[in-house]
């Protein structure tokens, strides 16, 4: 085997080893993320609630706190009813409307003409699609505001699922330079 061919084989084997190492690390990362999620979403919030704590300061100054979060989404099956409820209850401004017109290939000039003058062109109405939706962040903000104010709204329409989550905030280091592992003023 020539030196060049031997080097190709060597590099191919090195590549296979790196892929194996990456797969192994990805597997470990998946387990770590699952553990982290369980700790932040279940174990720590449940235990802190059980002992009556909403926050706790650790010896190193870190703050462990539990806060309520909410997930929500309008499903396709409930979209029309949810959007109608928003409009009927004066929250229609949350809805974004998108109008899409589809042109076939080779119809670029027609698209530019329509865009330029926004005139009704024969047959365009069959190619138009209007979508209405509430941006996920806007919906979450709306739901949180309703829940915090105690205002009633149809939670099932918006797929509301409140949950507790724990977080740890590390203390801010004092201003100054870090030298040999300690802070110098």
Q: Are residues 8 and 20 in the same domain?
A: yes
Q: Are residues 77 and 151 in the same domain?
A: yes
- Model pLDDT for residues 64-115, shown as the tens digit of each residue: 999 999 999 999 999 999 999 999 999 999 999 988 888 888 888 887 777 6
- Model pLDDT for residues 115-148, shown as the tens digit of each residue: 666 545 455 555 667 789 999 999 999 999 999 9
Q: Per the domain annotation, does 181 fall within a domain? A: no
| pTM for this model (two decimals) | 0.66
Q: How many domains does the chain have?
A: 2
- Model pLDDT for residues 152-172, shown as the tens digit of each residue: 999 999 999 999 999 999 998
3-state secondary structure 132-167: EEECHHHHHHHHHHHHHHCCCCCHHHHCCEEEEEEE
Range of the domain at 140: 73-158
pLDDT tier at 180, thresholds 50, 70, 90? low
Q: Per the domain annotation, does 66 fall within a domain? A: yes
pLDDT of 39 higher than 70: yes
Q: Are residues 31 and 50 in the same domain?
A: yes
- Quick one: pLDDT at residue 68? 92
Backbone angles phi, psi at 65, to 5 degrees: -135, 150
Name the strand (E) or helix (H) holding 168: strand 161-169
């Amino acid at each position: 085997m020539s030196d060049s061919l031997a080097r190709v084989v060597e590099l191919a084997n090195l590549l296979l080893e790196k892929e194996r190492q990456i797969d192994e690390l990805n597997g470990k990362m998946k387990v770590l993320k699952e553990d982290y999620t369980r700790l932040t979403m279940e174990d720590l919030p449940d235990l802190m609630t059980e002992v009556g704590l909403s926050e706790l300061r650790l010896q190193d100054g870190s703050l462990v706190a539990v806060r309520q979060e909410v997930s929500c989404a309008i499903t396709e099956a409930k979209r029309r009813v949810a959007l109608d409820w928003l409009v009927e209850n004066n929250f229609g401004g949350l809805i974004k409307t998108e109008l899409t017109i589809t042109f076939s290939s080779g119809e670029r000039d027609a698209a530019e003409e329509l865009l330029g003058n926004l005139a009704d062109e024969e047959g365009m109405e069959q190619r138009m699609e209007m979508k209405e939706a509430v941006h996920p962040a806007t919906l979450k903000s709306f739901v949180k505001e309703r829940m915090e104010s105690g205002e009633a709204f149809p939670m099932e329409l918006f797929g509301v699922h409140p949950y507790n989550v724990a977080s740890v905030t590390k203390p801010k280091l004092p201003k100054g330079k870090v030298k040999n592992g300690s802070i110098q003023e």
